[in-house]
């Protein structure tokens, strides 16, 4: 039943974005006001239909969105949907890397911290985690860049792939937008290495932040379940301490963890926007920052609405997964 | 009515009952936060120059000057003194944090109380909207807020106001949810039923019995939110939605300006504003985290009984 | 006598708490012989549960343990739980000693099948294949009387009833055939009829497996039913140890005498009820009833389109002025719902409920408000029925202020002091906060608040079930005194037949939302007409080992 809530949620999100974006006036004045004469402005506003009653525009907008049409950008005159598709893959790739880093680091370290609760490994891990999420992701990115790219020269400063690599991909007709996939399709190992080198710093910056959050989440929930009576009951039957952590307490802790991880998707996307800007990673976040600078609110509206919907849908999927893990819901 | 003794003041009591790492975290967090407030309050005294000063009696500062006797932390690409911008940045940050949290509490608590106590369609609508907004990526929401409120750029007063309001939009649903859940919990407790049996009216139950019992967890969320507010403010600035450099100093904006510097090896324009954000966010997070741990009996560390006589079996278990 | 399965010597446990160290167990020494059932009895805070957990070395890290707890291993040899290295202690758990927990729903892991959980205990003590583990798990489930164990072994805990869950917890404890089972309040979370089944099971298992049982309990009926020997604990100390018949017949320690005297017994209230009935004015039955329910139906709305749940189904009852009606039933019988409906806390779905002359079905807020001052309510848990931020005096003054008798809690203080005195609380307690009072004191204050406006009707919902038996006895006595002095009518709800018998003029028994039987104490308790009432009475263990043995011999 509650899964049906996804429909009003998406509706509310799209409406909120529309209302907020249009509360300031029409996007054409915002983007071009001052550069065009009032007559020219009025003409373009009329041509785009922004002088019609707001409700009519709203219904039109909803209809267009339902068809997958988010309008056309003002600054570079491209369909917003095309922008979303082109750059969405880059953002998705970065997010996947970051989630992998976060899970590989955050989950085992969180279990370790819970196991060594209140002793020195726990203290060290917690302080590291707090540092990880008190550091703005763009500052972490700049620091990494300063040390590993500029100072040591080990890794590239910005971008997703070198020019040579891009040429190799085009020759192999590998243009899925997912760099790692394309690199593998070229069949040339150096391209794969090149792509991974470019991804290393952004993935680490975003992944560390998320890992800190995961660590805290896993630790708190594990401590909660380790204190339950069923863990004591298993202990009273002679089950090993390590086994208590990895099986008896972990599975029940997983259910709330999955739910909260779903909520982290929103945080991850915000982090991606900032990371992309830092590393000139040409994804949705990078584009969003560009469009914001250009006051191109049609593009901004489209990107923000898409991200909000992605978050809502992910949360919805995560709820289903959490329900599947929980036998009390399954049966 | 208020019976406040030293032991009952929120933070003092927790400081007393904390031990070990939790106490260390709480003290460190309080010191860092105190330092931040102090620097913000004394900014005009502490800073060597104004936040938008480009020259002094000895002539223009020059752009991207490395740290020196004249500019302890160097100058930015725009020719401002980094140290002064970092110090004045604290002022902006503090104003935004206070304004956004005050606004969020007032709105969030009122809505949460109404929603939780009366339920019905009002509750359903508020929860649906709050859930939708809660799932909205916070920074994007703040960006939308900033666009609506100020069109993007502004002076100190309107800039701080606009940024604080944008952050408020993000926080209100959180407070609403927390207060609502607490109100529902308190409402289910026997003492509220007891008040109803006595014949107490809704208003009296809400104000006398529910409200004060439902807002006891707020200090904790406030501290955690304060650091989130700092990070959101910096994120907004980083994306160019901060406050004009001539109107006030803002760390996120300065970091954005330093991206290009970093590529050419100029480290001082990025490092110091960034560290300032980390220190402040760290201080508030430490306070929030340790308060959170102390409030949760499962997470609290307790003193062990006379450690000298700890039994061998506990020691053995500890050693593993 | 053969070697004891466990020898406890000078056991001393101290906990570190916020308010300094707490000495929970103080120099306890006892032995348990093979195949023996030793009951450790005591009230809350007596240290009985801590002693039980110390036997398995399950105390939290905040505890400091001294003394010795020597477990006999099956292959000969012994393990001192207090000093043994952790790895050896782990091996002994489950093999030499196992534990049965109070609350079966929290002692079972909700996300694993019961078969898996039994197998975990086997795997911890040596390699077993999953097929072997499964066979053993099925066998263990069959042994404790779970029907269809081959299928049930793959079910999750939430698919079993409360009594079955406790059987599974017992099966887990038995899986490795330990010589000693520590059962910590194994029936406290269960209804009496289920309790009787679990007690039967434990007795049968002791006979079949020869395992000794350490039974931790506060219930003297359970002790009389199952124990061979009894150890009485009070404030961390062992005050008396004796065979069960001796202890009940001839208690030595002052505390034991007090404890036994405080235990309510079915039939105790008979004399008092007869005295009260004789003192009534002729024709009192014709007075208009204070409460009259006719075919009362109360439902809870279903969530997400599920049908509404009918908690009370066609109940008819009446309470006359000055009369005490005892309402008895097991959990889920609807007794509390009836009480809440009479207090206007739960809407009436169908039928009619008239309280103090007002019809509560579809009642208007205004009418209800006018009714409030004439009605008092005492809640089950005194810990949660007071606003933790107000002082006791402010809480007791609340009805006086709300109904305009006084302008402020301060102005009402004299009346509050009178009320506190009436419930035998010192005046100074008015300035304390609820958490600074003990459970019994809080329940007295709760009574003071309910009586502040001199109500004609008092509704008491399990007012003593959260209290220790000695405290319960004093609160019940106070309750009876006040009722005699003030003459209010009363609905007294309880799950305990003996408690109800002490106070009530008439007793009504509820089962699954229906009223199955109603009558005077002697009618219902000595000549029950309904099957369910008979079963309820038969399940209730009598706190007298000789009588209980005789009863068991018949059934």
Against chain B, the chains showing at least 3 CB pairs within 8 Å are A, C
β pairing state of C489-494 and C324-328 = parallel
What is residue C98's predicted lDDT score, i.e. its pLDDT?
A: 92
Burial of residue A171 (CB within 10 Å: 0-12, 13-18, 19+) is exposed
Q: In terms of pLDDT, which residue wins out, B223 or B279? A: B279
Please tell me the total number of residues recorded for chain B in this structure. Answer: 320
pLDDT bin (cut points 50, 70, 90) of residue C304 is: low
Q: Which of C176, C136, C157, B319 is nearest to A239 (CA)?
A: C176
Contact residues, chain A to chain C, C-beta under 8 Å = 1, 228-241, 243, 247-248, 251-252, 255, 325-328, 331
Could you please state the CATH topology (level 3) that the domain comprising C6-96+178-262 is classified under: Rossmann fold (3.40.50)
DSSP state for residue B75 in the 8-state scheme: B
In this predicted structure, the answer to whether residue B224 has a pLDDT above a threshold of 60 is yes
C82/chain A closest Cα distance in angstroms: 15
SS3 (DSSP) at A218: helix
Domains and CATH numbers, chain B: 31-49+72-297 (1.10.3720.10)
What is residue C455's predicted lDDT score, i.e. its pLDDT?
A: 92
In this predicted structure, the answer to whether residue B136 has a pLDDT above a threshold of 60 is yes
Question: Which residue of A233, A240, A328 is in closest CB contact with C110?
Answer: A328
Q: B289 CB near a chain A CB, below 8 Å?
A: yes
- Ranking A188-202, B100-114, B171-185 by mean pLDDT, the lowest is A188-202
A256/chain C closest Cα distance in angstroms: 13
> Is there a contact between C93 and A327 if contact means CB atoms under 8 Å apart?
no
What is residue B17's predicted lDDT score, i.e. its pLDDT?
A: 66
Evaluated on CA atoms A30, A36, A41, A45, the torsion sign reads negative
ipTM of this complex prediction, to 2 decimal places: 0.80
pLDDT bin (cut points 50, 70, 90) of residue C283 is: confident
The model's pLDDT over B20-57, given as tens digits with 9 standing for 90+, comes to 777 888 888 889 888 888 888 887 877 777 777 777 77
pLDDT tens, chain A, 331 aa long: 556 677 777 888 888 888 877 777 777 777 776 677 778 778 877 777 777 888 888 888 888 888 878 777 877 888 888 888 888 888 888 888 998 998 999 899 999 998 888 788 888 898 898 888 888 888 888 888 888 877 787 877 777 777 777 777 777 776 777 777 777 777 788 877 888 888 888 888 889 888 888 898 898 888 888 888 899 889 888 888 888 888 888 888 888 888 878 777 778 888 888 888 888 888 888 888 888 877 788 888 888 888 888 888 887 888 788 878 777 765 5
Token pair of B199, please? 């014949």
Q: Which residues pair with C63 in a beta bridge?
A: C15
Question: Which residue of A237, A241, A251 is in closest CB contact with C111?
Answer: A251
The model's pLDDT over B209-221, given as tens digits with 9 standing for 90+, comes to 888 888 777 777 7
DSSP state for residue C377 in the 8-state scheme: E
Orientation angle between helical segments C469-486 and C439-451, nearest 10 degrees = 20
> Is there a contact between A236 and C92 if contact means CB atoms under 8 Å apart?
no
In this predicted structure, the answer to whether residue B303 has a pLDDT above a threshold of 70 is no
In this predicted structure, the answer to whether residue C62 has a pLDDT above a threshold of 70 is yes
Question: Which residue of A229, A243, A255 is in closest CB contact with C103?
Answer: A229
| CA dihedral angle for residue A213, residue A218, residue A221, residue A227, rounded to 10 degrees | -140
| CA dihedral angle for residue A83, residue A85, residue A91, residue A97, rounded to 10 degrees | -160
- A236 chain-C contacts, CB cut-off 8 A: 56, 58, 93-94, 98-99, 173
In this predicted structure, the answer to whether residue C406 has a pLDDT above a threshold of 90 is no
Token pair of B203, please? 């208003």
CA distance C181 to C201: 13
Sheet holding C229-234, edge to edge: C97-100, C180-184, C212-217, C37-41, C229-234, C237-243
B296/chain C closest Cα distance in angstroms: 14
Q: How far is CA A53 from CA A3, A16, A45, A72, A325, in A?
A: 34, 18, 13, 20, 49
The answer to whether the C6-96+178-262 and C270-385+455-539 domains have the same CATH topology is yes
Neighbours of B258 (CB within 10 A): 26
Selected from 3.40.50.2300, 3.40.50.300, 2.30.30.30, 3.40.50.10800, the CATH number assigned to the domain covering C270-385+455-539 reads 3.40.50.300
A239/chain C closest Cα distance in angstroms: 5
Average pLDDT, integer, range C429-453 = 88
Contact residues, B window 16-35, toward C, CB-based 8 Å cutoff:
17
Instruction: Give the CA radius of gyration of chain A.
Output: 24
| CA dihedral angle for residue A53, residue A54, residue A55, residue A58, rounded to 10 degrees | 130
β pairing state of C358-359 and C514-520 = unpaired
Contact C448, C422 (CB under 8 A): yes
Residue ranges covered by each domain of chain C: 6-96+178-262, 107-177, 270-385+455-539
pLDDT bin (cut points 50, 70, 90) of residue C216 is: very high
pLDDT bin (cut points 50, 70, 90) of residue B150 is: low
CA distance C70 to C77: 10
- C120 chain-A contacts, CB cut-off 8 A: 234, 237, 239, 243, 247-248
> Is there a contact between A1 and C111 if contact means CB atoms under 8 Å apart?
no
pLDDT bin (cut points 50, 70, 90) of residue B7 is: very low
* Residue A136, phi-psi category: left (phi > 0), alpha (psi -120 to 50), beta (remainder): beta
SS3 (DSSP) at B9: coil
pLDDT bin (cut points 50, 70, 90) of residue B2 is: very low
In this predicted structure, the answer to whether residue C548 has a pLDDT above a threshold of 50 is yes
Return the number of CB contacts < 8 Å for B and C: 108
Terminal CA-CA length for chain B = 51
Contact C186, C503 (CB under 8 A): no
CA distance C492 to C490: 6
The CA-CA-CA angle for residues A34, A35, A41, to 5°, reads 80
> Is there a contact between B285 and A307 if contact means CB atoms under 8 Å apart?
no
C384/chain B closest Cα distance in angstroms: 6
> Is there a contact between C81 and B212 if contact means CB atoms under 8 Å apart?
no
Q: What is the pTM of this model?
A: 0.81
B293/chain A closest Cα distance in angstroms: 9
Question: Which residue of A20, A270, A289 is in closest CB contact with B144?
Answer: A20
Neighbours of C76 (CB within 10 A): 7
Against chain C, the chains showing at least 3 CB pairs within 8 Å are A, B
Contact A248, A240 (CB under 8 A): no
Instruction: Give the CA radius of gyration of chain B.
Output: 24
Q: Which of A143, A27, A91 is nearest to A286 (CA)?
A: A91
Question: Which residue of C58, C108, C169 is in closest CB contact with A235?
Answer: C58
Terminal CA-CA length for chain A = 16
| Mutant choice from A123, A133, A136 vs B, greatest count of B C-beta within 10 A | A136
CA distance A191 to A209: 28
Query: What phi, psi does C214 have (nearest 5°)?
Result: -100, 115
Neighbours of A12 (CB within 10 A): 20
Contact residues, B window 225-284, toward A, CB-based 8 Å cutoff:
227, 231, 234-235, 238-241, 252, 255-256, 258-259, 262-265, 267, 270-271, 274, 277-278, 281-282
> Is there a contact between C21 and B310 if contact means CB atoms under 8 Å apart?
no
- Ranking A37-51, B166-180, C117-131, C337-351 by mean pLDDT, the lowest is A37-51
> Is there a contact between A139 and B318 if contact means CB atoms under 8 Å apart?
no
SS3 (DSSP) at A156: coil
* Residue C535, phi-psi category: left (phi > 0), alpha (psi -120 to 50), beta (remainder): alpha
Tell the residue number behind the tokens 């999955």, with chain if given. A258
Contact C348, C293 (CB under 8 A): no
- Ranking B182-191, B235-244, C312-321 by mean pLDDT, the lowest is B235-244
pLDDT bin (cut points 50, 70, 90) of residue B297 is: low
Q: Widest CA span of chain B, in angstroms?
A: 79
What is residue C446's predicted lDDT score, i.e. its pLDDT?
A: 92
A9/chain C closest Cα distance in angstroms: 19
The CA-CA-CA angle for residues C476, C481, C487, to 5°, reads 115
Question: Which residue of C368, C376, C387 is in closest CB contact with B191?
Answer: C387
Question: Which residue of C98, C124, C156 is in closest CB contact with A240?
Answer: C124
The CA-CA-CA angle for residues B113, B119, B124, to 5°, reads 105
Mean per-residue pLDDT of chain C: 89
Q: Would you give the distance in Å from CA C453 to the centre of its chain?
A: 31
Contact C231, C215 (CB under 8 A): no
């Amino acid at each position: 039943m509650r899964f049906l809530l996804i429909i009003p949620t998406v509706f509310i999100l799209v409406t909120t974005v529309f209302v907020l974006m249009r509360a300031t006036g029409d996007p054409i004045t915002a983007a071009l006001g001052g550069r065009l004469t009032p007559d020219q402005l009025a003409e373009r506003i009329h041509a785009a239909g922004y002088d019609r009653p707001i409700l009519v525009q709203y219904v039109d907008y909803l209809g267009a969105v339902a068809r997958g049409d988010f309008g056309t950008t003002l600054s570079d005159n491209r369909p917003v949907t095309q922008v979303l598709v082109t750059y969405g893959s880059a953002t998705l790739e970065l997010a996947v890397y970051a989630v992998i880093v976060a899970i590989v680091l955050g989950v085992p370290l969180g279990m370790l911290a819970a196991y060594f609760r209140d002793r020195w490994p726990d203290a060290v891990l917690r302080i590291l985690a707090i540092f990880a999420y008190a550091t703005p992701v763009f500052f972490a990115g700049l620091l990494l860049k300063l040390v590993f790219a500029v100072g040591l020269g080990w890794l590239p400063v910005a971008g997703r792939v070198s020019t040579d690599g891009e040429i190799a991909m085009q020759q192999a007709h590998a243009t899925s937008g997912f760099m790692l996939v394309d690199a593998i399709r070229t069949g040339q190992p150096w391209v794969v290495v090149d792509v991974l080198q470019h991804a290393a710093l952004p993935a680490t910056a975003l992944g560390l932040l998320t890992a800190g959050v995961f660590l805290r989440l896993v630790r708190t929930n594990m401590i909660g379940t380790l204190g339950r009576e069923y863990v004591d009951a298993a202990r009273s039957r002679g089950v090993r301490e390590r086994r208590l952590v990895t099986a008896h307490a972990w599975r029940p802790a997983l259910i709330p963890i999955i739910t909260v991880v779903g909520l982290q998707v929103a945080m991850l996307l915000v982090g991606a926007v900032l990371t992309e800007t830092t590393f000139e990673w040409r994804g949705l976040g990078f584009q969003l920052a560009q469009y914001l600078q250009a006051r191109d609110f049609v593009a901004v509206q489209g990107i923000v609405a898409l991200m909000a919907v992605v978050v809502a849908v992910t949360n919805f999927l995560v709820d289903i997964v959490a329900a599947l893990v929980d036998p009390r819901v399954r049966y | 009515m208020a019976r406040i003794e030293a032991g009952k003041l929120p933070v003092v009591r927790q400081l007393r009952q904390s031990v070990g790492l939790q106490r260390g975290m709480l003290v460190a967090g309080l010191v860092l936060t105190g330092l931040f407030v102090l620097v913000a309050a004394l900014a005009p005294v502490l800073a060597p120059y104004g936040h938008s000063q480009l020259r002094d009696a000895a002539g223009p500062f020059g752009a991207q000057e490395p740290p020196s006797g004249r500019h302890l932390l160097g100058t930015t690409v725009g020719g401002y003194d980094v140290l002064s911008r970092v110090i004045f940045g604290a002022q902006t940050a503090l104003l935004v944090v206070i304004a956004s949290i005050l606004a969020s509490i007032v709105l969030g608590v009122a809505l949460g109380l109404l929603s939780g106590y009366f339920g019905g369609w009002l509750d359903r609508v508020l929860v649906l909207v709050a859930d939708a907004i809660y799932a909205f990526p916070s920074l994007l929401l703040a960006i939308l807020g900033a666009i609506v409120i100020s069109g993007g750029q502004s002076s100190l007063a309107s800039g701080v106001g606009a940024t604080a309001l944008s952050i408020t939009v993000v926080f209100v649903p959180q407070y609403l949810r927390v207060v609502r859940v607490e109100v529902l919990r308190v409402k289910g407790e026997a003492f509220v039923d007891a008040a109803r049996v006595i014949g107490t009216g809704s208003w009296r139950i809400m104000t006398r019995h529910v409200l004060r019992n439902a807002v006891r967890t707020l200090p904790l969320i406030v501290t955690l939110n304060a650091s989130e507010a700092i990070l959101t403010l910096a994120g907004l600035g980083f994306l160019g939605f901060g406050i004009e450099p001539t109107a006030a100093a803002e760390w996120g904006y300065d970091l954005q300006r330093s991206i290009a510097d970093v590529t050419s090896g100029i480290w001082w324009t990025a490092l110091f504003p960034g560290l300032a954000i980390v220190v402040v966010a760290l201080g508030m997070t430490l306070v929030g985290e340790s308060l959170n741990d102390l409030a949760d009996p499962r997470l609290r560390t307790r003193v062990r009984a006379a450690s000298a006589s700890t039994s061998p079996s506990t020691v053995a278990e500890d050693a593993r | 006598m053969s070697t004891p399965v466990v020898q406890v010597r000078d056991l001393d446990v101290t906990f570190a708490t916020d308010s300094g160290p707490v000495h929970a167990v103080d120099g306890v020494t006892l032995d348990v012989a093979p195949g023996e059932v030793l009951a450790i009895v005591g009230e809350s805070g007596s240290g009985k549960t801590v002693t039980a957990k110390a036997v398995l070395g399950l105390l939290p890290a905040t505890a400091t343990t001294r003394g010795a707890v020597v477990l006999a291993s099956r292959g000969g040899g012994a393990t001192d739980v207090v000093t043994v290295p952790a790895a050896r202690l782990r091996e002994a758990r489950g093999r030499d000693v196992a534990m049965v927990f109070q609350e079966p729903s929290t002692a079972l892991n909700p996300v694993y099948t019961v078969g898996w959980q039994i197998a975990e205990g086997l795997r911890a003590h040596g390699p077993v294949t999953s097929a072997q583990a499964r066979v053993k798990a099925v066998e263990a489930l069959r042994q404790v009387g779970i029907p269809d164990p081959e299928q049930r072994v793959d079910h999750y805990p939430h698919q079993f009833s409360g009594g079955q869950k406790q059987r599974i917890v017992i099966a887990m404890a038995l899986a490795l055939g330990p010589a000693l089972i520590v059962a910590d309040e194994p029936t406290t979370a269960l209804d009496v009829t289920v309790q009787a089944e679990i007690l039967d099971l434990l007795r049968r298992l002791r006979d079949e497996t020869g395992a000794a049982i350490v039974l931790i309990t506060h219930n003297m009926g359970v002790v009389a039913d199952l124990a061979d020997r009894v150890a009485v604990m009070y404030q961390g100390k062992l005050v008396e140890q004796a065979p069960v018949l001796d202890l009940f017949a001839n208690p030595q320690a002052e505390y034991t005498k007090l404890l036994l005297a405080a235990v309510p017994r079915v039939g105790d209230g008979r004399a008092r009820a007869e005295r009260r009935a004789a003192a009534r004015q002729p024709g009192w039955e014709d007075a208009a009833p204070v409460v009259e329910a006719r075919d009362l139906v109360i439902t809870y709305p279903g969530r997400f389109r599920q049908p509404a749940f009918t908690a009370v189904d066609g109940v008819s009852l009446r309470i006359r002025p000055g009369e005490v009606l005892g309402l008895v039933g097991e959990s889920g019988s609807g007794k509390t719902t009836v009480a809440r409906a009479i207090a206007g806390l739960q809407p009436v779905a169908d039928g009619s409920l008239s309280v103090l002359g007002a019809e509560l079905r579809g009642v208007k807020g205004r009418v209800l408000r006018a009714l409030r001052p004439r009605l008092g309510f005492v809640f089950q848990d005194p810990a949660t029925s007071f606003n933790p931020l107000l002082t006791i005096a402010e809480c007791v003054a609340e009805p006086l202020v709300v109904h305009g008798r006084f302008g402020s809690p301060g102005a009402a203080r004299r009346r509050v002091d009178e009320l506190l005195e009436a419930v035998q609380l010192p005046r100074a307690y008015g300035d304390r906060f609820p958490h600074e009072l003990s459970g019994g004191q809080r329940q007295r204050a709760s009574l003071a608040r309910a009586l502040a406006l001199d109500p004609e009707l008092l509704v008491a919902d399990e007012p003593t079930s959260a209290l220790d038996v000695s405290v319960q006895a004093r609160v019940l006595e106070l309750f009876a005194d006040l009722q005699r002095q003030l003459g209010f009518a009363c609905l007294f709800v309880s799950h305990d037949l003996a408690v109800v018998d002490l106070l009530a003029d008439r007793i009504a028994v509820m089962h699954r939302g229906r009223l199955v039987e109603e009558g005077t104490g002697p009618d219902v308790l000595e000549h029950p007409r309904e099957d369910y009432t008979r079963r309820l009475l038969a399940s209730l263990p009598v706190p007298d080992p000789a009588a209980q043995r005789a009863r068991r011999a018949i059934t």
